[in-house]
Amino acid sequence: MTEDLNTQLVQVLGRIYPGEDLDDLARRVIDVVWPEGHAPRITQRAPSNDLWSQDDSVLITYGNSVLDGVHKPLDLLYDFLSERLDGVVNSVHILPFFPYTSDDGFAVTDFEKVEPTLGDWPDIQRIGARFHLMSDLVLNHVSSQGKWFNAYRQGQPPYDGFFFEADPKDDLTMVVRPRTTPLLQEVETANGPRNVWCTFSHDQVDLNYANPEVLLEVLRIIRLHVDMGVRILRLDAVAFLWKEIGTPSIHMPQTHAVVQLLRVLTDFLEETVVLLTETNVPKAENLSYFGQSNEAHAIYNFPLPPLILHAMLSGSAKYLRRWQATMPPAPLGCVYLNFTASHDGIGMRPAEGLLPGTEIAQMIQTLTNDGALVSMRTLPDGTASVYELNCGYYPAVARTFKGAEEWHMERFLTSQTIVMSLEGVPAFYIHSMLATPNDLEGVERRGMNRAINRHRWDYETLLERLNDPESDQAKVLHALSERLKLRSRQPAFHPNATQFTLALDERVFGIWRQSLDRRQSVFALHNVSDETVDVPLDALNLIADAHWHDLLSGEEIHPEIETVALAPYQCRWITNTP
């Protein structure tokens, strides 16, 4: 044990558990994270931008996104990754692959096992040996039917103190949450009836982190997952972790202290482990999880999905550009995770204050006319507000505000190219990579809006589509794969390379990227409209005497010409290196 590690643990634990024996608690934390056979680094890993590069990109998928009724889904996933995405992405986020009872894996019954219908730990480890593996640390809650909650109801220590209780008479009016179901659920226990806190659903019961035994148990799980090859820990729903009666119970100081504790521990791990916080909230709240470069390594860039979607539907990058121009670069040792789609819907909370209400209403109207669904959340005053739009991203851009259906695929590819161009690491949901249609049958069969974007492909059918060069699936996967491979060779697309937002025609979203060594510049231009737009070259500030060309088209760009044309939904990556 290093003295510096112990000192830092005592300090941060003191902000979470001021009444505890902090030296003893720090010792217990170290024993859990570094059991026999493990040892911490002698020196703490310093914040740097060396944990990622332009080679990094992430695929987001469920363990059973592809099925054939014969092979283990994790075997099929490994085959798909190896055969179709090798050299395209180098990281894979497998959504919760543990035994569960609801919410497609986010009501976990046992964090120490792999869901048997998917496979087992060796199958997870095989994927982790070939790709950087991301797993979900579902910090906030567990299944109401899991072993922890069953032991709680039976009054078995230490689980009898594992869950957060409240009284229906308590003042809970300030509580912020993303659902409309009742917050408290009454359950019978060996100690009589209790009302337990359920932020998300009554099958997802919130843990009580005021009890340090809960934290220690979660750290044991982290140790197991790291041993099994996990290298990116997604801290699911972390914003709701700490509760106090009479407060909003979101983004509490103790929550940030817990993330700081995890950062200290990962900084001392021999294994390189990255912390990613999942906080689907407005900008300032989301950015707060970088801390002072002492909390999350990475945060989701949650405003991107609604802002890019609005740009593609409206034909104007006005609001996307305005937001991006005000975004700070990620601090040293930190990075943004950029995406447009995930297993959830298109979150609308991050658009609050960024898009006018009339524009949001038009987005909702346009998408729902095409079969998209809407999920709501309850506000503190008891009213309901739009929480997310439920649809796939490929079908989301099927038509514009004007009703135009032409250029569907080009619109989609532009939306994904923007994600590749921005400062940060790009991430792509499997159903975006595969141009998957909305699964309306899945919604009807499963009775949940989010099923619309959680299709499970029959693997044989999928391979037939991918082997047909005229299918949407083949065209989209090929185009995105080629652009990602091209992107990975450009130092100017390092996740922390310089970025400047260009003031261009509002139909064009343009940014300038410059490599960390300042040798390469890329002017990334994206026409979000169905019109041809001429961009003045003097707005790009091309360095004289350099050879400029468009990486995407191969076209040479001569600085002496006055403008460069962008066809409808065309993207250009204009660079000064071969």
Mean of all residue pLDDT scores within the chain: 96
Q: Which residues are annotated as a binding site for substrate?
A: 103, 141, 234-236, 343-344, 450
| pLDDT band (50, 70, 90) for residue 222 | very high
Beta bridge partners, 86, equal 89
Structure-token match 């996933």, residue found: 77
Q: What is the mean pLDDT of residues 270-293?
A: 94
Contact 255, 242 (CB under 8 A): yes
Nearest to 412 by CA among 467, 507, 515, 341: 341
Of 95-109, 183-197, 377-391, 399-413, which gets the smallest average pLDDT? 377-391
User: What's the pLDDT at 1?
Assistant: 47
Nearest to 261 by CA among 228, 299, 291, 229: 291
**Angstrom distance (rounded) from CA 454 to CA 89:** 20
Residue 239 in this model has a pLDDT that exceeds 60 = yes
Residue 521's SS3 state is strand
Beta bridge partners, 388, equal 347, 375
* Radius of gyration of the chain from its Cα atoms, rounded to whole angstroms: 24
**Angstrom distance (rounded) from CA 566 to CA 351:** 28
Return the DSSP state at 207. Answer: B
Q: What is the mean pLDDT of residues 157-182?
A: 94
| pLDDT band (50, 70, 90) for residue 542 | confident
Give alpha helix (H) positions in 387-524.
Answer: 393-396, 408-421, 430-433, 440-446, 459-466, 472-487
Q: What is the pLDDT of residues 36-94, one digit of tens each?
A: 999 999 999 999 999 999 999 999 999 999 999 999 999 999 999 999 999 999 999 99
Q: What is the mean pLDDT of residues 435-445?
A: 96
User: What's the pLDDT at 386?
Assistant: 86
Q: What is the mean pLDDT of residues 228-245?
A: 97
For the chain, what percent of residues have pLDDT higher than 90? 92
Beta carbons within 8 Å of 412's beta carbon, 6+ residues apart? 312, 393, 394, 397, 435, 476
Q: What is the pLDDT of residues 485-534, one digit of tens each?
A: 999 999 999 999 999 999 999 999 999 999 999 999 999 999 999 999 99
User: What's the pLDDT at 558?
Assistant: 87
The dotted CATH code for 498-575 is: 2.60.40.1180
Active-site residue numbers? 236
Q: What is the mean pLDDT of residues 327-334?
A: 96
User: What's the pLDDT at 545?
Assistant: 80
Nearest to 74 by CA among 128, 123, 133, 136: 123
Residue 383 in this model has a pLDDT that exceeds 80 = no
Contact 449, 458 (CB under 8 A): no
User: What's the pLDDT at 543?
Assistant: 81
Contact 188, 177 (CB under 8 A): no
Contact 323, 286 (CB under 8 A): no
Backbone dihedral angles phi then psi of residue 130, each to the nearest 5 degrees: -110, -25
**Angstrom distance (rounded) from CA 342 to CA 133:** 17
Q: What is the pLDDT of residues 443-484, one digit of tens each?
A: 999 999 999 999 999 999 999 999 999 999 999 999 999 999
User: What's the pLDDT at 311?
Assistant: 98
